[in-house]
Structure 1
């Protein structure tokens, strides 16, 4: 019986490999390939000879067998652990390696092949080896559909736009991944998998692919490629295309597409694009788009515009007029501010301290941001009127937050305090100008003339301070040279008060432009001036100028971080924060961590840790781990920075690990660390229900306890008070989100939080947080921009997205009602009297009967009410609060009359345009939600807008400059209808 042969050594085959007969050598080579995994150590002694056999010029083997020799060498090096050499010979093996069966060796070589070009600097004219490129290409081309995203990621890492295009064009649309409705015909559905393109766009926008080394040219080419590929679809994904336009600053393509849609009578898509642009694009981009439309004759008529004209509707949407009116109505209608919280806070904070005046001012401004509700102000005019100096400035500026976006009526409230008004006071006048900027945030043309006039005509630095801040906020990111130069003139006056505001304002106007002129002027003056306030504001202004510039900011960052002046180094930390916001850039994170533990100045270290929150907010789940050790630092400034980093990065997420890290810090021995913990907890828990974040109720109770504790440090009470306003921002209908629903950076939120963080030095800058608040609404509008009454379904439990309950608070009040104090002698006398009467058989029925003794005893058989099971879905009406996490559960009625123009509404902003599937059916006025016209009584003169200066003139002519007195304001406070009437704080001079 034959015995199976067992190979115990490779010596025989290695000997045959040197035989004179080539056929025997080929046989030996094939046998060695089969046993290399077992005897590679023996074969390694013959590597030099094997390399000779694999040489293309060698005659020792037939040409078709040389690749096999190279493959054998590659495997030997692989087992020896020399991967670079293994890859080198695997590439020489060519076809022999491609035929290699799947296994650990093949996977390792391919991974190394892919990693090699990714790890090298492709910017330095590095070219990929042809053989290596062939392996990578073969892998990507053979990638199955389910691994399409992986292939796209590799193609991006290799910066191969041709592969990106190839992978998309060879993909096939998956019906499960493509949104569809019954209204979309089969022929108009995409033939390729657009989810791959959306994946690429989200990775590029979020900076999650390590794309910090990409040049602007490559980035622009990638956006252009995505734009072209998205247009392959018969029904383009306008949401993604809009994001590309805004990211690539492609005004030309945006304008042309809108023109085409309007000319084709496709008004609905044009309107939805305009709404989305209004959310994701800066003011300069929108102005350029409007100019492009005007060139093609699509501008609204200059005189007597028809509100139903598509040109007028589109222009109003682009300008933000329509959005402002809708959000104003939403916030006013759904205002759920708990006035009792403000009342208790006001009663417990002593009015003799300026810090407490500022606290209640900011708390009320945040809680009522954008709601136009000034009820609390009118009820407490005497209290707020006792503010002094800069507290007056903050109190008046708070009106700008409360009436934010109220482009008509907000001015009536601010007007009495404007210079030349009926309430002359330089602090309130300066605050009113800042308020004007907050009301017209991002719409400079509406307040520009009034603010410029007061900036140039007034010589009082306090008024100039307010005017400069107002101009900066209203003209944010416009790069308006005229405004910039006028503010610069104020800076050069070298007044600390006016110059401080000018430094911030110059940066806000030039936000994200990386203007060399602005950087040189600001840095030079910061080095020359002796005023710390001006140096700090200019350092922050430089940070604003470099917003979202990524690696382009490395030069100025290096300059600032090497400065001897700690204030300029402080600005360098925020320059990193804003330049790399949301990128998670490793180099930026390492730099910040290094400064956080090495700089000699506490302010710089605190800023470095705070900046981590901005850089890492897109990967917020990792932030608690990053700052955990910093939160335990011996340095309280570092601990404070850690609290803000957590609050900024995890804002609105309710992240449990962040809350668990912050809770012990609310008991920190240092007051400003506790202050930071309160503020950050409020940011994280904003709009979180008890069902989604069980600790939200206890944290709210903690805020109330700290505010009420008169033995607590003022700094901590200040932070807890502000936290009460933040957690209930905008009548509990606003959130903090550093990115938009489309995934792009939320410019206003990032800038607002940056300004807010400067309240450490200057309390009025806390108002900047109002810019960061974003309404969380779902508002459906039809082609006429009317709001049809639609019942939307939320396929989740209502408790997950509910407003905070007030029932428990009322029960607690009853339980906490103090018992009447009774003297012990009186109690004994009454007890003796009762005993005597009971012995006489007399019944006792007086007010002193202790009924509580019978009711308070626990029952021997307690009966607990069984809670009814909560439904798994509920219905919402149009113009309701819809949280970002809730949006994925929202659905329109499948057989309803109105359907969104973008199926599923995914990626769209707060305002969704809907299509009427039954346009021939008449709809009564009862079928639409009626907007409160008193909130928006009239818009436009001839050119579609009314400036602040023109409104002031009109109001003075109509009312003779009369304003309502405090007493009149109190009489009308309960009226729900009617525009907010102007009132005056009885400030004590």
Structure 2
């Protein structure tokens, strides 16, 4: 019986490698390849000789057999743990490696090939053709079930041809193919792959922060081409691509085509695109879009199409229609708790400027966009005690309260403007700033008044307000004339007016860092002796770098401004190199201001990856330096705003007890930012934190700066009548330019408190407003598939009441007590009961009230059109309600008791997607964005009527040119409260709370 031979050593085969016969050498190589897993250590001793066999210059083997030697070298290096060398020899092996079965060795080598190809791509080196062959094979073989993985790999390698091939080879899932998009060839492709790429590209993930701008643009152009292959087209994605590509002309052509050829369905889609663009595009894009549409004959004065359509399109694109909808929503559903404002006012002594300003900001935030001046009218005596810059800030607060009131904006602040009845330069300057805040990003609305205030006034206080107002109203327009006017003001070298000019120049040239602008601003910052001007100019310079990524690195000259240059240039990218640089400055810079700014900048860079921020700043929050700790609080607040992230709350709570007052101030404001629109059902800490704010504000022994922060926090957490959130991203997931600029300017309140008004730019209404094809607001209901308490408004704050003193027990002498005890014992022996004087008293606290029976809460809620829908609630929303759209009678029966309004409406965009939301939550939070409200177009008809808008908020006769404002009557004048001013009809009054009183202009005492 033959005995099986067992190989115990590779020595014999290694000896055969040096045989003179080539066939013997080939046999030895083949045999060694079979035993290398067991004897790689022994074979490695002859590695130099085996390498020489693989070298074409020195090899004694035929060319077709050298690949065996290369493969043997690769396997030995693999077992030695030298992956790079193993990959190199595997590439030399060619077909010998390709023909191997899949095992651990081959998978490791392929992974190494992919890593090398990605490294070469990112470094700008030419990728080896042998690497390309292996990687291409992997991508093509994985384009079936693992299509997203293959797409991700193609993105890393920047291979547009492979992306296109994978998509065209894809097939939509069977359940979606019936309603899916068909290409021009009739094939149903999987559009989710394109949406995945779009999300990765826009979201700053998958290493996209390192992509060159040229590749990013080519990729977006490819996506636009592929989306257009399908019918019906996904205009939601296409609109995002138009904005990302900054292609206003193509966007205009798409809207015009839908209006001209699409019928009712096309008109609805065109209006939806117009609303989406208005929400997500910068002002410069919208101006070009309106120009192209007007030149094509579709403007308000054009001749194409229907006049009603042209007018409606113009009103959407100039922001009038969406502003009217939002201002009506905020006014109608204003849930501001006046008891909180009253309690804060009564607790903070208004004779101190810091407390007067704190109340001003709290009221402005809480009533932002609501047009409610009730608090001001009820507290005119308090308003009149403002002095100097507090007076400036109190007047500027009107800009936040009436934000977006484009029709009545000038009328509201007219009494305070230069030439009005306001006797104070501080009021005049504040009014000009307020005008800019009302017309944020809309320079045409108040450009005349602001430029006149800049030119005519010789007072630096008025010029200060005019410059800030002009900057915020012309935000991102790049207007050269306005820039030159502001530059002339800067060169006057006045600490007050030139500082504002520096900020304003950056606001106007936002994201447009041309060489002339940078040279002028940086040169002047180096020449002036005023620290305030330097700060204004360096922040202005940082603003010009918005979104420029790598182009900003060489311009971070002045260190403080450089931190915000990083913040704005890399906002939302999560760029690791920038994070390392900011952390370096945060711990090593010699200047506290720079260290604080560096930590704050981390919040901007990481806001789209907010779950990582607590881990990044955890050690900084424990720093010995209070400026670093303050920066950590704001970094958490900025990045985690509106998320209710528990890790951030846990980090901030101990900081509310910090021994340094301004650290506590930052902690209060950051907690308010994080918990804005959070309910107790979502974040149990909400009630406790609100009570903390109230306690700090009412504590007269607390430090003024901490009370200032707690007061602002009360306004932030209830922003916009509890109908607004802080949103740094658009609905598309891109950084919201206006909101980010507002946040950058807000954090400068450390040096100049009136800049705290800029926080209002970050507030976004949280609602769904559904419109039909004629832009009417139908009475339809959406369904929220969550308990009503999950997303309900918070309850009204209860006033703090003093505890009732317990009744003290009557004192009893010891002799009396002994006598009573003897008497009780005698009676007990006789079996008789006895009345005594000392009846046991019932403690009032023992009588616990009966527990209220909780009413059973339905598992879902009806959400009427144009009501609050928070960002966290949106994934639970479906609708408009249509019984035929519900899968299963059980759901329909569960909704029947709620009596939702029915209608045959179909939304042109998806409303909520809970499955996507849950999947998104598992992705480290990278793709999660704060939804800032939706205007949703509907197809179809209903029978329940329409919601009427308040004509007083948006007088139709004044859309194009506001009427001359009335001459205000001072308080105590001849006009009686409750009568309309002379030049207004009662329906057009600009009073927003009940009947129309005379102007509430208060005759400030300038002697203070």
Quick one: structure 1 residues 819 and 75, their matched pair in 2 at CA, closer, same or farther if it must change by over 3 Å? Answer: same
Write the deviation string for residues 738-763 of structure 1: whole angstroms up to 9, x where unpaired: 11121011111111111110111111
> Does 2:672 correspond to 1:687?
no
Distance of 1:786 and 1:230 partners within structure 2: 30
Query: Aligned residue for 1:596?
Result: 586
> Does 2:395 correspond to 1:396?
yes
User: Which segments of 5 or more consecutive residues in structure 2 lack a partner in the other structure?
Assistant: 814-819, 821-838, 885-902, 914-928, 981-989
**TM-fit CA distance, 1:822:** 8.2
Quick one: structure 1 residues 968 and 523, their matched pair in 2 at CA, closer, same or farther if it must change by over 3 Å? Answer: farther
DSSP-derived class of the 2:498 partner:
helix
Distance of 1:232 and 1:912 partners within structure 2: 27
Indicate conservation of the 8 Å contact 2:764/2:933, yes or no.
no
Write the deviation string for residues 669-690 of structure 1: whole angstroms up to 9, x where unpaired: 1100000000000000001000
**TM-fit CA distance, 1:412:** 2.4
Query: Aligned residue for 2:846?
Result: 857
Quick one: structure 1 residues 97 and 542, their matched pair in 2 at CA, closer, same or farther if it must change by over 3 Å? Answer: same
State which drifts further: 32-41 or 432-441.
32-41
**TM-fit CA distance, 1:974:** 11
Indicate conservation of the 8 Å contact 2:969/2:999, yes or no.
no
Distance of 1:366 and 1:528 partners within structure 2: 38
Q: For residues 367-378 of structure 1, what are the structure 2 equivalents within 5 Å?
A: 367-378=366-377
Quick one: structure 1 residues 978 and 185, their matched pair in 2 at CA, closer, same or farther if it must change by over 3 Å? Answer: farther
Of residues 883, 905, 908 in structure 1, which corresponds to 2:870? 883
Of residues 232, 241, 249 in structure 1, which corresponds to 2:238? 241
Query: Aligned residue for 2:453?
Result: 454
Indicate conservation of the 8 Å contact 1:378/1:969, yes or no.
no
DSSP-derived class of the 1:916 partner:
strand
Query: Aligned residue for 2:8?
Result: 8
**Relative contact order higher in (CA < 8 Å, ≥ 6 apart):** 1
Query: Aligned residue for 2:964?
Result: 955
**TM-fit CA distance, 1:221:** 1.2
Q: For residues 676-755 of structure 1, what are the structure 2 equivalents within 5 Å?
A: 676-755=666-745
> Does 2:1001 correspond to 1:984?
yes
Quick one: structure 1 residues 532 and 909, their matched pair in 2 at CA, closer, same or farther if it must change by over 3 Å? Answer: closer
DSSP-derived class of the 1:928 partner:
coil
Indicate conservation of the 8 Å contact 1:308/1:784, yes or no.
no
Quick one: structure 1 residues 641 and 378, their matched pair in 2 at CA, closer, same or farther if it must change by over 3 Å? Answer: same
Q: For residues 389-468 of structure 1, what are the structure 2 equivalents within 5 Å?
A: 389-468=388-467
Write the deviation string for residues 694-713 of structure 1: whole angstroms up to 9, x where unpaired: 10110000000000000000
Write the deviation string for residues 41-65 of structure 1: whole angstroms up to 9, x where unpaired: 1212232333344345788556554
> Does 2:284 correspond to 1:275?
no
DSSP-derived class of the 1:793 partner:
strand
Indicate conservation of the 8 Å contact 2:772/2:940, yes or no.
no
DSSP-derived class of the 1:885 partner:
coil
DSSP-derived class of the 2:369 partner:
coil
Q: For residues 177-192 of structure 1, what are the structure 2 equivalents within 5 Å?
A: 191-192=188-189
Query: Aligned residue for 2:834?
Result: none
**TM-fit CA distance, 1:5:** 3.0
Write the deviation string for residues 828-875 of structure 1: whole angstroms up to 9, x where unpaired: 9xxxxxx9xxxxxxxxxxxxxx9994764257xx97556455433211
Write the deviation string for residues 733-791 of structure 1: whole angstroms up to 9, x where unpaired: 11112111210111111111111101111111000000110111111111111111111
Quick one: structure 1 residues 59 and 460, their matched pair in 2 at CA, closer, same or farther if it must change by over 3 Å? Answer: closer
Of residues 617, 621, 624 in structure 2, which corresponds to 1:634? 624
Quick one: structure 1 residues 340 and 551, their matched pair in 2 at CA, closer, same or farther if it must change by over 3 Å? Answer: same
Indicate conservation of the 8 Å contact 1:416/1:963, yes or no.
no
> Does 2:126 correspond to 1:136?
no
Distance of 1:852 and 1:173 partners within structure 2: 78
> Does 2:524 correspond to 1:535?
no
Indicate conservation of the 8 Å contact 1:188/1:235, yes or no.
no
TM-score, scaled relative to structure 2 = 0.88
Distance of 1:488 and 1:190 partners within structure 2: 58
Distance of 1:786 and 1:571 partners within structure 2: 47
Indicate conservation of the 8 Å contact 2:183/2:231, yes or no.
no
Write the deviation string for residues 875-926 of structure 1: whole angstroms up to 9, x where unpaired: 11111111222212111134341111124467997334333335xxxx66x5
DSSP-derived class of the 1:625 partner:
helix
Query: Aligned residue for 1:914?
Result: 937
Distance of 1:982 and 1:476 partners within structure 2: 30
Distance of 1:500 and 1:299 partners within structure 2: 40
| Matched positions, count | 936
Query: Aligned residue for 1:45?
Result: 45
**TM-fit CA distance, 1:581:** 0.6
> Does 2:792 correspond to 1:805?
no
> Does 2:948 correspond to 1:930?
yes
Query: Aligned residue for 2:767?
Result: 777
Q: CA RMSD in A?
A: 3.1
Query: Aligned residue for 2:906?
Result: 899
**TM-fit CA distance, 1:496:** 1.0
Query: Aligned residue for 2:383?
Result: 384
Quick one: structure 1 residues 979 and 955, their matched pair in 2 at CA, closer, same or farther if it must change by over 3 Å? Answer: farther
DSSP-derived class of the 1:404 partner:
coil
> Does 2:211 correspond to 1:214?
yes
Query: Aligned residue for 1:344?
Result: 343
Indicate conservation of the 8 Å contact 1:427/1:463, yes or no.
yes
Write the deviation string for residues 554-598 of structure 1: whole angstroms up to 9, x where unpaired: 1101xx1xxxxxxx3211111111111111111111111111111
Distance of 1:604 and 1:204 partners within structure 2: 32
> Does 2:804 correspond to 1:819?
yes
DSSP-derived class of the 2:448 partner:
helix
Quick one: structure 1 residues 693 and 175, their matched pair in 2 at CA, closer, same or farther if it must change by over 3 Å? Answer: farther
User: Which segments of 5 or more consecutive residues in structure 1 lack a partner in the other structure?
Assistant: 561-567, 829-834, 836-849
Indicate conservation of the 8 Å contact 2:621/2:628, yes or no.
yes
TM-score, scaled relative to structure 1 = 0.90
